[in-house]
Structures are given as C-alpha cells and as structure tokens.
Structure 1
Amino acid sequence: MDDEKPAWKVPSRLRSNARALRQNSTDAERILWSELRGHRLLGVGFRRQVPIDRYIADFVCHAAHLVIELDGGQHFSNEAEQRDAARSAVIEAKGFQILRFANNDVLANRAGVLDTIAAAVAARAPTLPLPRKRGREQD
C-alpha cells in the first residue's frame, strides 16, 4: 500500500469541509504549515486538513502515521477535552499517533514544537526519504 494515500473513502461533505478549513486557517496553522509544507521537515510529506474517518485532522504525515492537532482556547474545557479524547481514540484506531499543541505553543515556541514533531517523525518513519532536489540539474 502507498503510504502517501489513505485507503478509505471520504464523503464529499467532509471533503468540502476540509477544503473550507484550509482556506480559513488560523495564524498558528499558517505558521506551522509554512514549516511543514514541501517536505521541509526531514524530507517527509505533510498534508493539512485531512479527513480521517468522520474527523478532519489539522496535519497528517502518512509516512510516519502521525497526526498533529493545534488546539485553540475552545479545546480546554472539560466538555471539549472529552470530545477530543473520543476523536483521538478514533484516529488512533486507524494507526496514527497524535501530537497536540496549543496554538500559543506554535506562536511562542515554534522551534520547540518543530523539534517535538521531528523526533516523532524520526521515531515512527521506517526510513526517512532522501532530500528532494530543487529544480533540474544541468548537464
């Protein structure tokens, strides 16, 4: 099976919700995406706002089976934490590890967040890909 593509079908409504979330990212999501996109972290690919089962994960690295969730203030009530735990159980049942960061962590400690993500990727990816070359080499 190709590690870059999930094996499940995504309902069109969930797909359009994911598309809307990509178009309306938070500041923390934009900052983290600028660090993860284009295989910038350890040469592995990440996708953003990815449907998994009935949920949409903020960032996913299929090669490392890793999900990164960024939580705003609304996630820190007891009710929200229970919903997040149920959501995490469903996503983890698909074989993913979940890393959660508060939006403020990304804004105030970007390097620390990236170090944590890099360590998780290195631990979970069977072999890291070779870095991609930018542009074509001339003969």
Structure 2
Amino acid sequence: MRLQGSPNSQRNAKRLRRTITPPEIALWLALRSNEAGLRFRKQYPAGEYVLDFYCAPARLAVEVDGEAHERGDRPARDANRDAWLRSQGVSIVRYSAKQVLTNLEGVLRQIIAITVERRRTLEAHRQPPPPSPPAPPPPGGGG
C-alpha cells in the first residue's frame, strides 16, 4: 500500500523543501549518506500531511519538532496526525530540534536501527510462508 498525498499536501511539501530548517538540513544530510543504504525522502506528502522524512520500505516517518510543537493546539494536531499515520500502517519517531542539533550521531544511529528493524519485520510479514511438507502417504492396505 503506497502512501499518497493530496494535491494540497503535495504543494505544501514542495514549498517546505525550499524552507527546510537547520536541524532538518543536518538530519537530511546524515540520512542521505547512511551506512545501511536506506532511502529516505524529505518533506514527503502523505494524505493531508507532510512528513519531515519518510522511509517507504520501513513505512517509517521521522519528525523533527521545533518548540512550536509544544504550544497551542499543536500537540493535539500532532496526535491526530500520528493516529492517522498509524491507521495507514506508518510508524512515527519524533525528535526535538535540539536533540538533532546536539546529538546528531545518536539520533541518526537510533533512526537507522529502528528503520532496519521495522523494514525487516515488514518484509517478514510480506513473505509467503514456506511450502508445507508433502502429506504422508495413506496407510497401505491392499488385498
């Protein structure tokens, strides 16, 4: 199931790619060259929302939250957004902008570990089960 954005979120994503914040820039540069070879997209449209970073094979969204996410109706809006994403099979990890700026290497290691494990789990569920062994022959009886 591919996660798709609305026309409005696609326009917003395009605009946000041009106005990426310093913590997002730092994390983007680190994610782009990760040792695990995972592919992340930045400012990815999903439904009516725009995800800071998204790894499709792992169905994982990574959010970098500035101080504004702690004020007003933002916590409730973020909770609604996270609930919608979870209903689409997407897992979300959130980091504060301060965490990204002060501990980029630790944040990156954690994101990569979560992504690798989540991708492995999803792939295991997609694999068809191994074939059943052949049934034993019926008991012999003959005349």
Task: Please tell me whether the aligned partners of residues 35 and 41 of structure 1 are also in contact (alpha carbons under 8 angstroms).
Answer: no
SS at 1:64 equivalent: coil
Is residue 97 from structure 1 mapped to residue 91 from structure 2 by the alignment?
A: yes
Task: Please tell me whether the aligned partners of residues 8 and 48 of structure 2 are also in contact (alpha carbons under 8 angstroms).
Answer: no
Kindly state the Cα deviation for residue 35 of structure 1 after the two structures are TM-superposed.
0.8
Partner of 1:116: 110
Q: Which runs of 5+ in 2 are unaligned?
A: 122-143
Partner of 2:81: 87
Distance 1:89 1:60 in 2: 16
Partner of 1:36: 31
Q: Which runs of 5+ in 1 are unaligned?
A: 128-139
Bigger radius of gyration: 2
Aligned residue-pair number:
121
Kindly state the Cα deviation for residue 112 of structure 1 after the two structures are TM-superposed.
1.2
Distance 2:76 2:50 in 1: 17
Partner of 2:71: 77
User: Do the aligned partners of residues 11 and 116 (structure 1) sit closer, same or farther apart at CA in structure 2, a change above 3 Å counting?
Assistant: same
Distance 1:108 1:80 in 2: 24
Is residue 13 from structure 1 mapped to residue 8 from structure 2 by the alignment?
A: yes
Name the % identity: 36
Kindly state the Cα deviation for residue 123 of structure 1 after the two structures are TM-superposed.
1.1
Partner of 2:20: 25
User: Do the aligned partners of residues 83 and 11 (structure 1) sit closer, same or farther apart at CA in structure 2, a change above 3 Å counting?
Assistant: closer
Runs ≥4 residues deviating over 6 A: none
TM-score, structure 2 length as denominator?
0.78
Q: 1:67 aligns with which of 52, 58, 61?
A: 61
